[in-house]
Structures are given as C-alpha cells and as structure tokens.
Chain A
C-alpha cells in the first residue's frame, strides 16, 4: 500500500467523513487517492486558514475530530492561524500538511517550510513522518492525542516521497501510545474536601467554561443537575455558554470583561468559587490581585497546567468534567450534604438586587437599529428552531454572547482564546456541512467578515445555506470603543472605509443579499433570511456609535464595572489600563 493510500485508509478507520482542504504540489498523491474513492468527502475551501476554521466548526458542533488537508509551504503557513485558534480553544483537529520529499528537506526547496518547527508552539503535538511504514501508526496516534485529555490540534507533516512510497498498514487497534494517558477520574479525597467547602458556603458560585462543553453533552447535563441540586448560581465564560442553560433562573449569564453585572459582582463577593473547566483567563479575572478576594477556590480541569497558573486555588481536582461532576453528585447525595439554605437565600437576595440593575439595558431607538436590539430580535425569531450560531471577533461577538441565550452545548462557535477575526464564516461552513438541515448563522461585523469573505464561493459550490448576519456599524467597533475609552477618541485607522455593497457582493457569489436600515424592516429581513434555502448575507446597518457595555476596563476589578455611557463619564479609566490588552 502506498503512503497516500494508508493515510486515507487510516482516516476511514478513524471514522472520518469529511476533510476540509486545498490541493498543491506536495499533496497531489493524496488528492489522487481521494479522486479514486468515495468514502471520504472533500470540501474545497478558498484559503487554508478557512479550512482549519471550518474543521473547528465541524468539530465543535459534532464532538468529532475535524480533519484538514493542505499542501507544503504556504499551505501550511496559511493554516497556522487556524491551528493556534484551535489550540487556544481546545478544539480537536488533525491537520495533514504536505512536505517536500525527504531528500530535499533543509535545502530551501520550492514551497518548503519547516512546518513542524513553525507549528510546534501552536499545536498540541506534531509529527514529521519520514518512513512510509510509520504513516498508519502516526495517523492513529494523532487522532488519539487530538481527542483525549484537553483536546487540541495535531499536525502530521507528510513528505511527498513518503506518500508515494510503499509500506504496511496497521489498524487503529494496534496503536497504543507510549506515554500519553491523561487523567479523567478526579481524586476522591479532593472531591470530598470540595463538597465539604460547598456545603458550608454562604455565598457560593459556579464558574464554568469551555471544558464543560468539550466534555460532551453528558457533562453539561450532569452539571446542570448538580447546579440545580445545590441551588447555587452559575456563571459561564465566553467558551462555556451553553454548558449550562442560558435561560435557567440560576444562570447569571456571562462573566468577565463584557459579562453581566450580577455575574461579576457575585464572582467578586463570593466565598466559595467552583470553577469547572475554565482557566482564569485575564478576560475573566480582571485585575488579578483583586479577583474574588474572599473566596476559597475549587478548580476542576483536565489540564494540570491550567491549575495555579494565573490564580492560586485551594482545592485542585484534575480530571474530565463529566467524570468529576458525576462523582461530586454521587457523593453529595451519599453523604446527604445540603447547602446552607438560609445563607443561600440571603445570597440570592443580594444577587437579585444586582440583577435588578438590568445591566444589559440599552437606549432603545426607533430611528436607528441598535446592534443589541438586532441580536435580541435574531434570538427571538430563531430560538425555537434548530439553530447554530458562529461569530467573528469584536463588538458583535460580545453582543451575541450577551443577548443570544444557549440552552445546550455545541450550539455556539466563537473564537475565544485567540480572538481571530475571520473565524465565523468558515466555521459556519463546517457547522453546516455537519448539520445540513439546521439553521446556521454567522453573526459578523463588516470588518471581520472581510477577512475570510472568499468562502462565500465555497458556500455557493456546496450549496450551504449559511446565513451571514452583519452588524454593520462601519467601524472596527471594538477598536473604536477602546480608542474612545483609552486613547482620547483618536480613531486611528478604525473606520471601515470603502466598504463593498454587501447585497451586490452576495449576488456576485450566487447568494442572496438583504439589507436592513430601519428598525421596522429588521424582523421582515430576518424572516426573509430564514426563508431562503441559499446562502444569505444580511447587511444590517446599526448605530455606528454604540459601545459594548457593561465593561470591566483593563486593569480594573470585577466590582469596578462600567455599566454604560453615563458611568463612562463618571469613572475615567486609568492610564494604567492602557498598557494592558
């Protein structure tokens, strides 16, 4: 069997159905084999970065490993942004990259790049295969590494002579990794200690993240039950949205820089914090020395390096969320533990007072479409349907996170850790491939969407009815907001000049273009968008001056939030925040 045949056989044996890719010289043997078979579907993207984001969307909405195939040199370097994006957000991917023949490696050959060198810090692991007999083993091992433990992207660099050469195939059952065995069961002693802390808590809070979503549907169901059993409030990170039902009365919404007032105040004032599958990211913690100063902290994470990295915790439990929460639940019941009801009642009383501030309130208008209102309407009109949402990066992303509520995991795909503009459209493409009959919407900004706009062509080719909903405020809104708050309103290069006519652009790509300029047009346009069984771009013209609130300015603590434009005038942001990101 040739190396190329073995790669495809190994993919089939791993249960792969779809590959996102782009051909080139070094991977021609693989494309030749793809041509001769019909078990693997290949989706031809228009840029390698998009192939990786599409595979991310596919992986995150299905729980499977996404697969990417790109050529050597520029193919591999174009994929790098996507790989790091997947690394930051723990998305399981296997990316096959072509490489020049082994005898040319190191010779600055045409389309040669040191792919394993370049991708080392942005992958969970990578391989350069130098022997055809190792191809099958490496592919199987790569899938194992990508999906177990904290998931992540794995690159397999395949020199052309290795693909053409002949060797023997080994099935997946024969491959066992020498060292890599992540711990999935949590330490029972630590769990017991955690539960004791929880039972005595006066002001507890669950703080959950993407680990819950990554752990699978069961994890999120178990966690939801456990949160209900305890009666504690639960806040979610950007990546954790959907890990706990967003419309549940115990949900406080999102935590962090643009999280809700009630979530951030509760995080600040809590006495026991139960962090599950989140990593105390700087966007969540705010100023680290003012983060939850009175709290005992419990941290459940599958990745030991996430523990005590930014914030020192009191009880660490290394393990998979589903396993740990199941044990927590069992022991809570077996030991007949109960939350301190009286304290909890008082705590909820306080939380309700914070909630009553209605921090997501915005100045409604009937003259201009407020971006928040647009998302609210989108949510109301699509919530009862089988909907998946992806986003780009910026203000629209934060408004989507604030105003769109997710009831289950895997419905929300956004670039959290890396913050990659251009993520949303290709990601939506991957979601739609996995769920052809579902409603898939990319909530976008007019700046971000142009970073991978070429994928409209892919949508056309595969008849993928993705809906691109652009909140067009003619600015890189988040950049403009920071310039307003921190740089004296000097809007350096943040105006989106010379924008295309998005309606005509959609039509040029064989899609449908719609425009909403007035408040009373909005609902009709959204209905129209959903009614079309084709890709659609909606150019929703929104208030260009709107800022995203509430906000914890950089370098501030959770209890120093800006609630809105009125606050902004009262509490000038310190210059210290300027050096932070």
Chain B
C-alpha cells in the first residue's frame, strides 16, 4: 500500500503544477501586476513610481511566464510564475500582497471553518442516513411518496434561501440565537447553532435522496431476502445488514470530502460573519490578492488529492476484497 500511496503522491505533482499554472493564467488574464499594485496602494494620488516600487518590492516586476531578456534556464526561472510558485511546493505560502503572513492566517482561520463543517457533516450524515432508511422502511407508502416530494422540494431551494430564512426565523423572529457573529473557544457555541442547523437542513434534500438510492440498491439483494426469510424484523434487516453494506459508497464519499472541510463554506461564512477560510478566499479575490488566491487554490488542490487517496485507502478498510496495487 505504501508504494501505491507514494506513486499517487508523485502523480499529484504534475496535477498541482497544472492547477497552479491555470490559476496563474486565469488571474493574470483579469489583473495585471499594475492593477494589483493600485489595489494595494489605493486609488488616489498613486504615481507610476510608487507602483513600480511596490512591484519591485513584491516581486511583480518580472515577466509573467517567460523572461526573454534572460539567458538559458533563467528564461523560465526569472519569472513571476516560477518565483511565486516554487515555495508553494514546500508549503511556504509567504506573505499576502498586503504584507500579512498567509501561513499564519490559514492556521488561524481553518478552525472556525472546521467548527461549522464538521458538525454539519456528522449531524447531517446521521439525519440523512436515518431519514433515508425510514423512507426505505416505508417504501411504496404515502410516507415514501411524500418524503420524495419533500426532498425534491428541499433540493430545489437555493442554499442562500436557507441562510436568510434561518436568520430571519430563528434569529430575528424567535430571538433564539444570534443572527451572525463568532467568538473563540466555548463562546463560539451559540454562534454555531444557526449555521450548523442551516447547513444540515440545507443538505437533507440531496443527502437523503442519494442515500435512499444506495439503500434501494441494497434492499433488493439476495442477502436481504434471506434475512427476511429467516424471520428478522424489518428494522433489524435495515439497520444491521443493509446499512452496513451501503456504508461502502457512503463512507468513501465522506472520506473524500474530509480534508476539504478545512476550506470552509464561502457564502455561509460570509453571511454568518464566521472568520473561516471560505471568507478568506472570497476577500482575497475581491482585493485581487494573488498570493492568497494562489495559496488557497493550491491548498484546495492538495487537500482534494489527499481526499481521493484517502478514499482509495478507505476502500481497503471497509471492503476486504479490495487491494491497492
């Protein structure tokens, strides 16, 4: 398995270089180093000298991808792309364009993101699985039919509606929790209730529908029929046998997103004033802070690849028939 993991990690290198290159090109199609300097220095009274000084100070005075004035390998290395990308692979994110240490900011902001994402995942998972099993239990009844209608309706509603509706009902009308905000330590609890609730409710539609499909596939298999023939109660059949076997696709799907939980939710964090990595990325895009955008895209790619590797490994753990080679 170690050889497999090492091989997968090596495969990741060209992917990361590609992602980095695409991010770089997309960013600089829209923004030039001069634009970035203006964004940092402000609109008013900025001289070209000040812009040139800023660019030189931050390493944006080099050509973007190819330095035609340089010789040999320097043509590629004496460029913004190379200079800014190399350190990323050592996870040295450097400073943002406004001068703050990106690594430090990420280490501070990943925890609020996780504080929302992890409960949403766990609570959502248990509710969705339970609800899906209940639908299976009552399949071909009005409960099944009504639930499918309800779930499709819930899937059709925008996530933003859940956020605004949740804030309006629970925060504004019922005065049960703060509408938005965040705090550190245990004091964060009262701020997490609403975003977690909204995240869970917002995910019930798609999550339950997906798990219902997994369970439906299992429920018609021979071993289920055998269990029933042995006189087992339906809920025992579902919770002991069907659930166990359907856990393989559920678990692998969950494992894939585990590393990405750190990356945060863009809109949720913005509306609830949670200082996580999602709002960090959005802010950076709005401020044209390429250093942060690049670091966050890179980090997202690394975590995604990590998630896929973990998924493969988790197959071997939950299904002994699978061998990685």
A, B bound: no
